[in-house]
Amino acid sequence: MHRFANPTRFLKIAAAVQPWMAGLTIILFGTGLYMAFFTAPPDYQQGESIRIMYVHVPAAWMGMFCYAAMAVASAVALIWKHPLADVAAKATAPVGAAFTFLSLATGSLWGKPMWGTWWVWDARLTSMLILLFLYIGYMALQGAFDDRTRGAKASAVLALVGAVNLPIIKFSVDWWNTLHQTSSFMKQGGPSMPPEMWIPAVVMAVAFKTYYVWVLLVRIRQELTANKVRILRLKQVHGG
C-alpha cells in the first residue's frame, strides 16, 4: 500500500495506465451505446423509452459509487493523512456530481411520459437530490477557507457524514412507498429482464467506471503538478 503512496511512484504508474483507461472507455462506451440504441429490444410497456434506462441506471450507480469512493478517500485522508487520498477525494467530487445530475435529468425525462410527471418528492428521488447537494456542498466547502488544509479537513468530514445517505438511497424503494420502482438488477433470482436488456446496462456501467479512473488519473496528476508549482512559488516568495 505504501509503495503506491509515494506520489512520484504513483505518477509513473498513472502515466502508464491512463492511455489504457482512455482506450477502454471509448471502446466500452461506444459498444454500450450501440447496444442500447440498436441491439436492445423495446419494452412491452415503455416502448423505446426504455433506452433512457441504459444511461439513467448506470449514471445513478456512478453517483453512488463515486460518493462511496470519495467517503473512503476522505476517511483515509483524515485518519492516515495520506497525501494522495485527499487529492483523490477532491478529484472524485465533480465526476460524481455530474453523473448524479445525469441520472436525475434522464430520470425526469423518462418520468414525464411514463409516470405523467417530471418530478415527485418520493424518498428515492429526494435522497438522490440530496446526494447532488452533498457533492455541491463538498466542493463549495473545499474552497471556502483561506487555509487549504482546513478546507480539505472540513469537506472530508462532510463527505463522511453524508455517507449515511447511501444506504437510504439504496433501500428507499424498499423501506417506503415510492413512485420509483424497486431495483430491477440487484434482486434475488437475477435481473428482472432478459440478458439482451441488462447486458447493455452493465457494459455502460463498466464504461462509466473506466471513465472515472481515466478522469481521476488526469485530475490527480494535474493536482500534484499544481501543488509542485505552488511550493516553488512559495519558495520564490520567501527566498526573494
Partner 1 sequence: MAMKRKHKRLTFVIVAMALVGVATGLVLYALGDGVSLFHSPTDIVTKAPDPNQSLRLGGLVEEGSVQRAEGSSSVHFRVTDLENSVDVVYEGLLPDLFREGQGIVTTGKVVNGTFIAEEVLAKHDENYMPPEAVDALKKSGQWQGDAQNANTGAAK
In the complex, least distance from residue 47 CB atom to partner 1, rounded to whole angstroms = 9
Question: Which CB sits closer to partner 1, 182 or 225?
Answer: 182
SS (H, E, C) 135-183: HHHHHHHHCCCCCHHHHHHHHHHHHHHHCCHHHHHHHHHHHCCCCCCCC
Write out the residues near partner 1 by the rule CB under 8 A.
41-46, 50, 53, 75, 78-80, 113-117, 120-123, 160-161, 163-164, 168, 173, 175-179, 181-184, 187, 192-194, 196-197
Shortest separation between residue 94's beta carbon and partner 1, angstroms = 24
Residue 130 CB, nearest approach to partner 1 (Å): 12
SS3 43: strand
Whose Cβ is closer to partner 1: residue 43's or residue 223's?
43
- Report in angstroms how near the CB of residue 12 gets to partner 1 at its nearest: 27
Burial of 49 (0-12, 13-18, 19+ CB in 10 A): middle
Nearest to 57 by CA among 116, 124, 134, 130: 124
